[in-house]
A and B are shown apart, each in its own frame.
Chain A
Amino acid sequence: AQKITQTQPGMFVQEKEAVTLDCTYDTSDPSYGLFWYKQPSSGEMIFLIYQGSYDQQNATEGRYSLNFQKARKSANLVISASQLGDSAMYFCAMRGSTLGRLYFGRGTQLTVWP
């Protein structure tokens, strides 16, 4: 069975500071993918970053980086230089080998304050 755990229901960070959103996962699939999505209040799901289970290096996309620790089964999202527009719900997700479906965590509500 696949499971994604996000233990932080809410996080607060001051503008221009960095913040780490935690995500741990559990899977028996030898090959899997890890995703982070941002969902603002409008509801759209915005893809942020992807990490494959066999990727040797941590993924980075602009201000987003994924701290992938395979042995610990963690895939934390690091947002550097937070902006007010980063305030949103953030979901960690995992894609297993079955049909490409995604398993989502419960999400973390990030609030960036001035």
Chain B
Amino acid sequence: GAVVSQHPSWVICKSGTSVKIECRSLDFQATTMFWYRQFPKQSLMLMATSNEGSKATYEQGVEKDKFLINHASLTLSTLTVTSAHPEDSSFYICSAREQGLTYEQYFGPGTRLTVT
């Protein structure tokens, strides 16, 4: 089956630093990748949709300059949290939609970010 990986699985960083999270589709080409954020005991909140080779589409209320998304290839998208603050601490999950007409999205295992 299709596999999506995320790296790192968890990260602790100091306030003011930047953190990059990678999302890779391992055995398929993903024309579209999605980035979600999830707080404890809450649902997934879509942050942005990225398409390979074009700028990401951000959801309302998500700061583009703070959450930089790059989808440089059909198998890799990155989310960079710039100048992280404690309120950015969260669980970040990516999903990838396979090129073609498939309905399914494949989720990565998530990255737990803690900003101290």
Point out residues on A near B: beta carbons under 8 Å.
Answer: 33, 37, 42-45, 47, 50, 52, 91, 95, 99-102, 104-107
| Main secondary structure on B side of the interface with A | strand
B74 contacts A by Cβ under 8 Å: no
- For B109, list chain A residues within 8 Å (CB): 42-44
**Given A43-B93, A44-B109, A101-B34, does the pair A91, B103 have CB atoms closer than 8 Å?**
no
In Å, the complex CA distance between A101 and B58 comes to: 12
B91 contacts A by Cβ under 8 Å: yes
User: What's the tally of chain B residues with a CB closer than 8 Å to chain A?
Assistant: 21
- For A101, list chain B residues within 8 Å (CB): 34, 46, 49
In Å, the complex CA distance between A100 and B104 comes to: 9
Point out residues on B near A: beta carbons under 8 Å.
Answer: 32, 34, 38, 42-44, 46, 49, 57, 91, 93, 95, 97, 103-107, 109-110, 112
In Å, the complex CA distance between A95 and B32 comes to: 14
| 17 further A-B pairs in the complex, CB-CB below 8 A; given A43-B91, A102-B95, A105-B43 | A33-B103, A42-B109, A43-B38, A43-B93, A43-B110, A44-B109, A45-B95, A45-B107, A50-B104, A95-B105, A99-B32, A99-B57, A100-B32, A101-B34, A101-B49, A106-B42, A106-B43
